[in-house]
């Protein structure tokens, strides 16, 4: 949205659903898509795939105090900690589905 309050489309997801969004400290928007479970980083010039946890659903995104992005997944029930583009690891395995 510009200073006059006018908005514009900067990205259209290839996936039919986006269930989770989070904003980082620098103003970049992150979106978790489904049903092919990918996280995208969205900025003024469009979006790029940021992290793909090999999960069907992304239900939750949140930034921690440490600046890492935490990604809650469905069908696996895992929470991933992502430090930078493409670099994430399982932070917690709940043993459940749809976290």
Terminus-to-terminus CA distance in the chain, angstroms? 32
17 - beta bridge partners? 34
So what's the pLDDT on residue 98? 79
pLDDT tens digits along 1-35: 778 989 888 888 888 999 999 999 998 999 999 99
What is the model's pTM? Answer: 0.89
- Give the pLDDT of residue 82: 98
CB 50 within 8 A of CB 71: no
Q: Domain 17-93: give its CATH code.
A: 2.40.10.500
pLDDT at 93 over 90: yes
Structure tokens at 87: 């670099």
The residue with greater pLDDT, 44 or 82, is: 82
| C-alpha to C-alpha distance for 58 and 10, rounded to whole angstroms | 21
Identify which of 91, 66, 62, 87 has the alpha carbon closest to the alpha carbon of residue 76: 91
State the pLDDT at residue 8. 82
Residue 61 burial by Cβ neighbours in a 10 Å radius (0-12, 13-18, 19+): buried
Residue 73 CA to residue 50 CA, distance in Å, equals 15
């Amino acid at each position: 949205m510009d200073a006059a309050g006018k908005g514009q489309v900067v990205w259209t997801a290839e996936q039919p659903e986006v269930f989770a969004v989070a904003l980082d400290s620098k103003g970049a928007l992150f979106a978790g898509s489904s049903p092919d479970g990918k996280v995208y980083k969205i900025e003024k010039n469009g979006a790029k795939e940021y992290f793909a946890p090999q999960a069907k659903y992304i239900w939750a995104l949140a930034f921690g105090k440490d600046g890492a992005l935490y990604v809650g997944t469905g069908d696996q029930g895992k929470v991933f900690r992502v430090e930078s583009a493409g670099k994430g690891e399982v932070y917690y395995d709940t043993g459940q589905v749809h976290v």
